[in-house]
Amino acid sequence: MIKIIKSLLIVLFLASFSLQAHSETSWITKKDKTKKTLVKKTETKSKKNEWIKKKKKEKEKKVIEKVKEKIKESKSWITKKSKKEKKIIKKELKKYYDINSLPKADLYFAAKIFPKDENEESLYLYGYVNSENSSATFEYQNNKYHSKSNGVAYFEDKKTSCEVNSRAGVLFDSMKGDVVLNCSNNLTITGDFKQDGESGKGSGGTTKKNEVIFEFYLSKNDAIAKLDLYKKDTKTLITRSLPAPRNNKNIKLEPNGKYYALLIGNSEYTNWENLVSPKNDIREIKKVLDKSYKFEKILTVNNGTKKEIFKAFRDLSKLTTENDYVLIYYSGHGMEKAEQAYWIPKDGSKEWGNGDWININELNIFLTEIKAHHLSLMVDSCYVGGKFKGTNILDLTNEEDRTLYGKNLEDGLNLRARSVLSSGSKGRVSDTVGKTKHSLFALAFLNVLKISDQNSVPLNMLNVAIRVRSAYAGNYTQKPIYYHPDTWQDGGGDFIFIPKKNLK
């Protein structure tokens, strides 16, 4: 019996030892697999980092190659300066280290130099150019232009300046050109640009392999606003980050209804001072909407009387359904009397009391009765501002400039929307800006519409408001306001301008 017990104990001991050994082997195997997984993840991460570095180097190589090519080409077209001209340029280079004090010029521009990585910061510069009168001329859209221009650019550090040379010409029915900046810090910047009407935009690179974007305008104020926007707008930097920029054409939206617009521009008055910008503004807005955005019908009223304006509202109401998207734009005189705001029609009396001014309360009736899923009103007029009944004026900051893409756009499109964007609040607003025939409000709106189309980015009205407001940077007497009138029953949606290429 004792022998049997001893035998059982030996068997149990051996079994226990065997199980323990197997358990340890199993643990070691598991540990080994975990180690392999960690190694695999590390290798994957390492490969991804290597791929990013490779892409970054390829990108930088392309930038520098193009810059070198442009520098080489520029030697054939940049006019060699005389000693006298060199002295003048040297003097100019140190003269205007403040954008507000730039001299009168043909064009003004703002530019942004992007950092290559997180160790660098964005750089900003601004400047002006004038036509080189001795250069050859060419015709574009019935206007004559000199093929060469030169000027000066300044970095915001107030230490670095650049000599600017550019050339332009017509290619495939567009005005295009090259620009070269030779800077006092031994940096050279080159780029291509395309002019569109009274403004233009371009891109390029530097000899330090950074990417550059720039825009130029007839108005110094527009260039100042753009510079301010470059500094505030971090979204652009995000879109240019590795591994690849987004393809905005993939942002496809499908509206449930049709788009309509009513554009009212009163420039000629019987009893009031005539205005320059309104008729020009609505003509250009219509042109851009027709070309780049799918509007079923755009009604226009030029120099309208009270009856004609009211008729246009009735006609609009007959066209639209509950599924449609309606934009109304008014530009003309406005006035305030006893806390009541008015639009002044063409034949409006100089003094209140004859019943020929258009009371905002009367317009409220028309606007609340228009059948639409989205209704957005833009007002470029004195004193009208926030008089459409409502107090929900938004604090427009870049924190809110996040609703441009994907699901937020779909939500904005599908929810009911009612909004007003006006060029000012209670005070007077300007007629034209700079050498243009447009108001600053309209010019900023047109610019953002064109950028939206060029970049294939659907644009909500909140974003329009932010962009338009930033065009008034430094203007303390006039600020656009954006709000949702309480009585219009906004549903949390947003009017969205969808470029034709972004429609499903």
Chain centre distance of CA 310? 34
Pair 228, 272 in one domain: no
**Which residues share a beta bridge with 340?**
337
CATH assignment at residue 196: 2.40.128.120
Nearest partner of 176 among 147, 218, 219, 136, judged by Cα: 147
Low-confidence ranges of the chain (pLDDT < 70): 1-49, 51-52, 82-83, 94-95, 172, 196-198, 232-250, 339, 382-409, 411, 424-431, 434, 473-478, 487
Pair 89, 132 in one domain: yes
Helices (H), 233-328: 235-239, 277-292, 306-319
Domain assignment present for residue 250? The answer is no
Q: Which residues, 6 or more positions from 245, have their beta carbon under 8 angstroms from its beta carbon?
A: 239
Report the C-alpha gap between 467 and 226 in whole angstroms.
Answer: 9
Pair 189, 297 in one domain: no
CA atoms within 13 A on the CB side of 372: 32
Pair 181, 277 in one domain: no
Nearest partner of 393 among 338, 465, 447, judged by Cα: 465
Q: Which residues, 6 or more positions from 153, have their beta carbon under 8 angstroms from its beta carbon?
A: 109, 111, 125, 126, 127, 161, 162, 164, 181, 183
At residue 76, the pLDDT reads: 85
At residue 262, the pLDDT reads: 96
Q: Which residues, 6 or more positions from 147, have their beta carbon under 8 angstroms from its beta carbon?
A: 135, 136, 137, 138, 167, 168, 169
**pTM higher than 0.85, yes or no?**
no
Pair 352, 392 in one domain: yes
Domain assignment present for residue 481? The answer is yes
CB distance 376 to 417 below 8 Å: yes
Token couple for 258: 């049709």
pLDDT tens-place string over residues 210-264: 999 998 888 887 788 778 778 765 433 333 333 333 445 567 888 888 999 999 9
Domain assignment present for residue 176? The answer is yes
Domain assignment present for residue 92? The answer is yes
Domain assignment present for residue 400? The answer is yes
| Pairing verdict, β 340-343 and 334-337 | antiparallel
Pair 231, 295 in one domain: no
Pair 105, 231 in one domain: yes
Pair 445, 317 in one domain: yes
| Domain end call among 214, 239, 264 | 239
Q: Which letter, b or e, does each residue of 252-270 get, where b requires 16 or more Cβ atoms within 10 Å of its Cβ?
A: ebebebbbbbbbbbbbebe
Q: Which domain holds residue 444?
A: 255-502
CB distance 337 to 349 below 8 Å: no
Q: What is the dihedral of CA 101, 104, 105, 111, to 10 degrees?
A: 20
CB distance 209 to 116 below 8 Å: yes
Domain assignment present for residue 336? The answer is yes
Pair 421, 465 in one domain: yes
Crossing angle of helices 306-319/360-369, nearest 10°? 20
DSSP element (H, E) containing 349? none
Domain assignment present for residue 48? The answer is no
At residue 142, the pLDDT reads: 78
- Other C-beta atoms closer than 10 Å to the C-beta of 5 total 9
| Domain end call among 211, 239, 267 | 239
| Domain end call among 239, 272, 293 | 239
At residue 303, the pLDDT reads: 94
Crossing angle of helices 461-470/440-454, nearest 10°? 130
Domain assignment present for residue 209? The answer is yes
Total count of domains within the chain: 2
Running DSSP on this structure, what letter comes out for residue 388? S
Pair 260, 201 in one domain: no
* Cα distance from N-terminal residue to C-terminal residue, the chain: 90
Pair 446, 416 in one domain: yes
Pair 196, 339 in one domain: no
